[in-house]
Structure 1
Amino acid sequence: MIIITQTGIAQNHNVVKKPEMLRHMKRQEIRIPDIQGYETLKCDFHMHTIFSDGDVWPTVRVQEAYYEGLDAIALTDHIENQPGKKYVGGDQNSSYEIALPEAKKRNILLVKAGEISRGMPPGHLNALFVDDVTKLDVPDYMDAIEEANKQGAFVFWNHPGWQAQQPDTNKWWDVHEEIYQNGWLHGVEVFNWDEYYPVAFEWCNEKNLAYLGNSDVHMASAYRFDLENHRRPMTLVFAKDRSLGALKEALFAKRTVAFFTDEMAGPEALLSELFNASVTVHQPFNVENGTAHFEISNPTNLTFILENEDPTNGAPGKIEIAPRSSVIAQCNLKNGKAVLPYAATNLYTGKTSNLMVELEVKE
């Protein structure tokens, strides 16, 4: 006689889950020091959703911002260009209203905003901290910009070198001068998408306008940017605290730096503070016959590329201090110390100028 038995592990034959296939998302914290008693906020003030010509729902932008380490964002859908409106309905305030509960849940500061999108001049301008975006949908662009300012908006000029609007030049038009003289223009986007505009650095310096760097992302950010090797472009804002009121005050006070790839552009004083708060030169060692080794540490997510301005000091011609790392270098000492002048070639203070720093080495 043959007896057949069945053994096995009990399981649910209706549903068998495979959780190992899922990606477990974690927020990628971006380590950038606070400076001057202010909190450093990582921000992106230019992005689009399905409510203009973007590809994603507003809540997705909040989720991306959270996981990619941002603190504040603005959904700046085109005010005049809404190709999806017949499918999704709503108005120019809808993307903000839909995203706001998600932003509150994830502790993301969400700025109510819109993009005034006209031909050149004046081109495209973002209006942040508006009360009602629909009131900016008027025929005359000057009326739209004036209305934004009446609502207390922070207004900045987007992608001034965008070749679709300025194919052969990057010009500050008479119209921009008029807007500026009226007190209606407060910043310039010096970096957008995958390009930056050195001439715009000079405009910011000469006219005391805020430096801004933003993604202008339309598709999913992970599709658009190489997030494995670079951060998305952003604006660093140095605010009194993590609140919308403090964020707005800091923008109007021009306490901003554009951060893109491994580079930054902004006022000299702010870049200098960031460098000094990030980099530590430690006490020299292996001191012998007037030379010494010394270590430079950088616990932040910033990169510093330094070029020696004095070839006689025995220090390296170039030092690259990668994020969250240390490097060892050598130099000559005189009376037990050395002050080594370097140009930070990836920190821009103007169209043709870089931040100058000093590494002080002393026993």
Structure 2
Amino acid sequence: MGYKVVVAGATGSVGREMLNILAEREFPVDEIVALASRRSLGTEVSFGDKTLKTEDLAAFDFTGWDIALFAIGSDATKEYAPKAAKAGCVVIDNSSLYRYDPDVPLIVPEVNADAITGYSKKNIIANPNCSTAQMVVALKPLHDRATIKRVVVSTYQSASGAGKDGMDELWDQTKAVYNPTSEVAPKTFQKQIAFNVIPQIGDFMDSGDTYEEWKMVAETKKIVDPAIKVTATCVRVPVFVGHSEAINIEFEEFLDEDEARDILREAPGIMVIDKREDGGYVTPIEAAGDFATFISRIRQDSTIENGLNLWCVSDNLRKGAALNAVQIAEVLGQRVLQKG
């Protein structure tokens, strides 16, 4: 026996990817429904070899449904997630709304799957920020071995992190560069994204950090260990899909780069491709469409006593959003609901 599954926000980039991954991983589905806003009502989306027509989120009754994957943004989630949860449907939410709620577990299955038991307090589970998700997959096995004191991370985040509008803006501006009579003013991003990098993702806070940078700090502490110090600089780059991160890690104990490489090779969800030769590393183009978090450029940091540097790349629409949500559903099914 399988599950009755809801995908809310099914016409967006993440929602479509959720449907694809549910089918690819053969999640035990007895019945599935794709929900969207009224302006997208009736839009067709794919689920494996099936075509689904979207139904109205505002009118939907969640009673009798087991799991709802939400990819609808914080405002809509605030309205509809409590309704679904109250009806007995477990919500796995991709927005930032519940990530910092102490009564809602924030889950990356490779890192803190045991925390899923806390879902029963509100019947809601939070999916982390895309840039956090891939980073903590890399940090956790190293932390278990040598205890991380501090992380300094610089991100190189793709346009798809801002959704379809971000990807469209990158595409349109790129075309406009080659057409002297055409100009596409920034709308989704603060400045031109084509052939440029933008050191701002999210609004600025009083500290000078952006909200995206603050999220990486707060979420790493909640998912891995509150004692870890994290500082982040988040940058938008002209890449369609795939986030990259340059991560500097300071440990309590010495960890040799060769041992770190071996640990990461054995860790769940990670693929190590680390050759000290031209092209012996992974870039976002190679990570796009893949489930793994790729680690390259592992090396000692000689400027501190117990330091390592590494390069981390992942498909942000997958591990950073849709895949992680489906993995949470898999853990929920295996450990709690136990229907499939």
Fold conserved between structures, TM > 0.5: no
More helix by share: 2
Alignment TM-score, normalising by the size of structure 1? 0.27
Larger Rg: 1
